[in-house]
Structure 1
Amino acid sequence: MVNRKELNPEASPHAAFGAKLRVVREGLGLTQDQLGNEMGYTCGHISSVETGRKVPTLRFSRQADRALGTANTEDAFERQWREIRQGSLLEGAPEYMGCEARSAEIRLYEVGVVPGLLQTPEYALTLAEGAVLRGSITEEQAAERVQMIADRQDALKRRTPPMVFVVLDESCLRRPVGEPAIMNAQLEHLMEFADRPNTMVQVAPFDLGARRPFDLPIYILTMPDRQLMSYAESAQRGHLDRESTSVLPLLTAYHQLQALALSQAASVAMISQLRKGTP
């Protein structure tokens, strides 16, 4: 075959995914063009995934399983995609995100950066690219992070979406991320997010000082059966807690934080002022 690129499945998890895709496709006697037509992708897209130039998405994996007959099997591409994604996450994060997508209520507090559920694609990409420049993650892992954020946001767009309560430390708004246009678009998105019927956005101002109950980001979920769970991350690990004796005090502290934070109207006014460049 002309211009056939030899694949090295040992090079990376995505290279292994692409090599497997080629093996299964050719085993069924399909060309890249034929598979692309079945999946709703171009021939070039199929080629880019097979050679590791493009990172496969959840949708791509599911479409591949449907077209190649591997759905719900040990060799499912969706299963391999999830293994790749989870391999780059902190302990506890995959389970948390699975619960988050089914939750009835989400409460979160973030410091320093806008949380993933509220990030614009450009803001998320800028953060991921910064991590690549620092050498803390690879370019592939950066692409995974951005796609993961998009998947989390899409998972919440269900017929009955969860209530989402957000408290942002003021540092989330004042820390510039990327070019001014990226930060302005992110601030505008926060204002739009606050305007949704199932959301509440508040800012915890700097002058809370020692009254602020949390020093690190915290996520608290209420599941449809009213079970509570919390998730928190340090630099090296994540911790998911399902014990009500541990989570209830966090929920109480979160309610106290909401009472101390600016109202949503005052919070949106602060965001609007920062977007316009006024102090």
Structure 2
Amino acid sequence: MSNVRELNPEASPQAAFGARLRKSREERGWRQDELAERTGYSDKHISATETGRRPPTLRFSRALDAAFGFTGTAESFERTWGEIRTGILLEGFPEYLGQEAHAAEVRLFEVGLIPGPLQTREYAQALADSAVKRGLITPDQADERVSLLMKRQAKLVRPQPPLVIAVLDESCVRRPVGGSAVMDAQLASLTEFAEQPHTMLQIVPYAVGEYRPLDRLVNLLTLQDRSVVSYVESETQGNLDRTLASVLPLVKAYHQLQAVSLSQTASVDMIHQLRGTDD
């Protein structure tokens, strides 16, 4: 059996693919040569993919799905390969999604846009279509981006759902996306989100000014073992972090953010005012 080589799944989507492959294999108690026999590939090929030295291919991904029983499922390696190929995921994000799907608590903060887990399909489609018009992605990539988001949202719907806390800058609810009908439906969806027993919604008003503790997207996950990981994102790069020394300042800043935000009742009232309703 090949020597085990440590792999950082946060290094790249390719590394995250390899880490997931190794985890799936080890969960079944298979050696690399046993998986090789089941897939028709060599154990060297398995090892190189697990350690990120060899990029996955479509044929290999399909062979893995057949071996693991993932064909046609949301967990399929073919789907992950497609996400890597189309470049719709930033580095660090595939691993974050895997953690989010099993987290006990999800804390979100966003500026300018509604966070992905709270977006309606029409709102998400408007953003994806805009990226196509600007030449950033292809129409197929836009469809895959929206499809991935819908699957991400579905994974948060469980018998015991996580506590989801969303703190939104006021710009998120005031910035029009997709036209008046799309935006009105999105705002209505936010009020429905706030009514659920396992959610919290707060808006950071413009009046907070320069005292807003966070300036860009920050996601915090509390995992089942009560450890906390953070995910922060720039325009071109994402970073998943488990290091306590760097995660704790973000947790502190998030608590400070909540302290200066509107209450959920006041936040929902603001949304009703923007919609022109008295609900």
Query: How far apart are residue 144 of structure 1 and its match?
Result: 1.0
Query: How far apart are residue 141 of structure 1 and its match?
Result: 1.1
Aligned residue in 1 for 2:26? none
Runs of 4+ with >6 A deviation? none
Query: How far apart are residue 173 of structure 1 and its match?
Result: 0.6
Q: Does 1:125 align with 2:125?
A: yes
Map 1:17-56; keep pairs closer than 5 Å. Answer: none
Q: Deviations over 1:94-127 (max 9, x none)?
A: 0000000000001110001101100001101011
Q: Aligned match of 1:81 in 76, 79, 100?
A: 79
Worse-superposed segment, 268-277 or 172-181: 268-277
Query: How far apart are residue 71 of structure 1 and its match?
Result: 4.9
Aligned residue in 2 for 1:95? 95
Q: Does 1:245 align with 2:241?
A: no
CA distance in 1, matches of 2:195, 2:228: 26
Aligned residue in 1 for 2:68? 72
Which secondary structure does the structure 2 equivalent of 1:225 belong to? coil
Aligned residue in 2 for 1:230? 230
Which secondary structure does the structure 2 equivalent of 1:196 belong to? coil
Query: How far apart are residue 70 of structure 1 and its match?
Result: 2.2
CA distance in 1, matches of 2:179, 2:247: 38
Aligned residue in 2 for 1:39? none
Query: How far apart are residue 86 of structure 1 and its match?
Result: 3.5
CA distance in 2, matches of 1:157, 1:116: 14
**What is the TM-score of this pair, normalised by structure 1?**
0.72
Which secondary structure does the structure 2 equivalent of 1:70 belong to? helix
CA distance in 1, matches of 2:223, 2:182: 34
Query: How far apart are residue 168 of structure 1 and its match?
Result: 0.4
CA distance in 2, matches of 1:84, 1:207: 43
CA distance in 2, matches of 1:131, 1:86: 18
Query: How far apart are residue 158 of structure 1 and its match?
Result: 0.7
Aligned residue in 2 for 1:272? 272
CA distance in 2, matches of 1:233, 1:100: 15
Amino acid at match of 2:193: F
Amino acid at match of 2:77: R
Amino acid at match of 1:189: S
* Contiguous gaps of at least 5 residues in structure 1: 1-64
Query: How far apart are residue 76 of structure 1 and its match?
Result: 5.0
Amino acid at match of 2:192: E
Amino acid at match of 1:262: L
* Contiguous gaps of at least 5 residues in structure 2: 1-61
* Distance change (3 Å), C-alpha of 1:163 and 1:76: same
Amino acid at match of 2:68: N
Over the matched positions of the two proteins, sequence identity in percent amounts to 52
Task: Indicate if the aligned counterparts of 1:125 and 1:146 stay in contact, CA closer than 8 A.
Answer: yes
Query: How far apart are residue 276 of structure 1 and its match?
Result: 1.6
Which secondary structure does the structure 2 equivalent of 1:213 belong to? coil
Task: Indicate if the aligned counterparts of 1:203 and 1:267 stay in contact, CA closer than 8 A.
Answer: yes
Q: Does 1:161 align with 2:161?
A: yes
Aligned residue in 2 for 1:25? none
Task: Indicate if the aligned counterparts of 1:86 and 1:94 stay in contact, CA closer than 8 A.
Answer: no
Amino acid at match of 1:224: Q
CA distance in 2, matches of 1:264, 1:149: 25
